[in-house]
Amino acid sequence: MPEVITKLIHKYLRPEKKFPHVWCPGCGNGIVLGALIRAIDHTDYTKDEIVLVSGIGCSGRMSVYTDFNTLHTTHGRALTFATGIKLANPRLQVIVVMGDGDATAIGGNHFIHAARRNLNLTAIIINNNVYGMTGGQYSPTTPYGALTTTSLYGHIEHPFSIAELAVTAGAAWVGRGTVYHAELLHQLMEDAIKKRGFAVVEVISHCHTQFGLKNKLGGPVEMMRAQKAMAVRVEKAKTMTPEELAGKITIGVLADRDLPIYTQEYRRIREAAKAALGGGPGT
C-alpha cells in the first residue's frame, strides 16, 4: 500500500472501530470514504474542527470509522442534527453523509429547506438507487421499471434527480460525481468543503448486492463500468443535443453561487433584536 495512503488511514480512521468494515466487498462506500479523507486532508481544517454527521443506512457507518467529532443520528434527520451543531458553534466545519433514501425520502423535507436556508454545511449524498441495508426496497432515486424487493414487477414511479433538486431548492454549490471517477470525486468534495454556504455533492454509486443482482447488472466492476459509460462532464454536455444526452448523467459542478450565509444572517437578526430591547451584545 502506498505510504501516503497508509498515513491518511492512520491519521483519519479509527482502527479499533470494527475493521474490516461492514460494507459488502466491492461497495462504493469505501471509495467515497477515501475521497472524503483525501479532500479533508487538502483543506486547512484540523480534525477537531470537523464534525461528521451521518444518518441511518450503509453510509451511516462512515461517522463510526472516521476520527473526527462525529454524530450517528436517526433516519432522515442527519441535517437537522447538523443544523443544531452549526447554529450552536458556527466555527465548526460540519459535513453530513447520507444515502439517497435517508436524504430524499424521510429526510427530503429537511434537505430542501437546508438548501433554501443556505446553512454553511457540506452534504454528501451517496445515491445507489435503493435502500441497501434494510432489504433492497425502492427509494426516491430508483429508476422507472427497475426491480426491487418492493417493486417485484417493475417500479412505476419516476426518480428524483438529487443534484438538480438541490440546485432548484437554492443550494449555493452543487456537484455530482461517480465512484468510478474517484479523482474528480475527491476534488468535488474538497471544493464543497471549502465553499461558504450549503454545498451538495451527489455521488453516483452502486449496490451490486441488492440492486445490481436483482436487475442483472453484474457485479461492482460491471456497475462501475456502466457509470463510466453514462457519465458526461458538464462542459461536454453543453455541446450535446437532448437526444445525445438521453440516458446520460452530467458530472462536475452544476451550480456555484454566492448567497447570504444563514448563521451570519441569524446573528445579525439576533443582535438587532437585542438592540431593540435595549440590551448590549452580552444580553
pLDDT digits (tens, 9 = 90+) for 73-106: 998 999 999 999 999 999 999 999 999 999 999 9
- Pairing relationship of beta strands 249-256 and 173-178 according to DSSP bridges: antiparallel
Confidence of residue 15 (pLDDT cuts 50, 70, 90): confident
The torsion defined by the Cα of 215, 220, 222 and 228, in degrees rounded to 10, comes to 110
Q: Which residues pair with 97 in a beta bridge?
A: 54, 124
Q: Which three cell numbers stand for residue 80?
A: 437537522
- pLDDT digits 0-9 by tens, 99-118: 999 999 999 999 999 999 99
* Residue position matching grid coordinates 454549490: 173
pLDDT-wise least confident of 6-10, 29-33, 220-224, 246-250: 6-10
Q: Quick one: pLDDT at residue 280? A: 58
How many CB atoms neighbour CB 177 within 10 A?
A: 28
Enter the pTM of the model. 0.94
The share of the chain scoring above pLDDT 90, in percent, equals 88
SS (H, E, C) 46-71: CHHHEEEEECCCHHHHHHHHECCEEE
Average pLDDT of every residue of the chain: 94
pLDDT at 175 over 90: yes
Residue 237 dihedral angles phi and psi, to the nearest 5°: -60, -30
Greater pLDDT, 226 or 9: 226
Q: Quick one: pLDDT at residue 48? A: 96
The CATH label, of 3.40.50.970, 3.40.50.1820, 3.10.580.10, 3.40.50.360, for the domain at 3-276 is 3.40.50.970
Q: Quick one: pLDDT at residue 173? A: 98
pLDDT at 279 over 70: no
pLDDT at 282 over 60: no
Backbone CA torsion sign across 192, 193, 196, 199: positive
Q: Quick one: pLDDT at residue 7? A: 84
Greater pLDDT, 239 or 8: 239
Q: Which parts of the chain fold into alpha helices (H)?
A: 3-12, 29-41, 62-65, 78-88, 100-104, 108-117, 162-169, 182-194, 213-214, 220-230, 234-237, 242-245, 262-276
Q: Quick one: pLDDT at residue 266? A: 92
